[in-house]
Amino acid sequence: MPSRPNSPPARGRPPGAKSFDADVALAFGAIVREGRVAAGLSQETLAHMANVERSYFGRIERGESQPTLFVVLKISSALGSDSGAIVSRVEDSIRRKSRRTSAKPK
């Protein structure tokens, strides 16, 4: 049986790896803003309902922050929406953007 090194396992992301994706963050933020406005809620009210800091919520809507799954679940619950439906809309938005970008003449 091979011997194991005595060093602890690596934690976190590999050096240089990034998990922020601006397209995903922008699409999610736009969909959340659309739902909030349709519900007639202010950012502050929805942030309070989701138990999220208002300034962080504003960054999410502007696509400057990419929320964790836990925050996505809290926001979708506060909107009275299914989180899966919101994620599907984000995926559709990204696909549409990708098609528009690849269809542009060079």
Quick: pLDDT tens for 28-62: 999 999 999 999 999 999 999 999 999 999 999 99
Over residues 75-88, mean pLDDT:
96
Assign 97 a pLDDT band (cuts: 50, 70, 90): confident
pTM metric for this prediction: 0.79
Q: CA-CA distance, 28 to 72, in Å (whole number)?
A: 9
User: Which single residue is written with the structure tokens 């309902």?
Assistant: 49
Give dist(CA 52, CA 46) in Å, integer: 8
- The span from the CA of 78 to the CA of 74, in Å, is 6
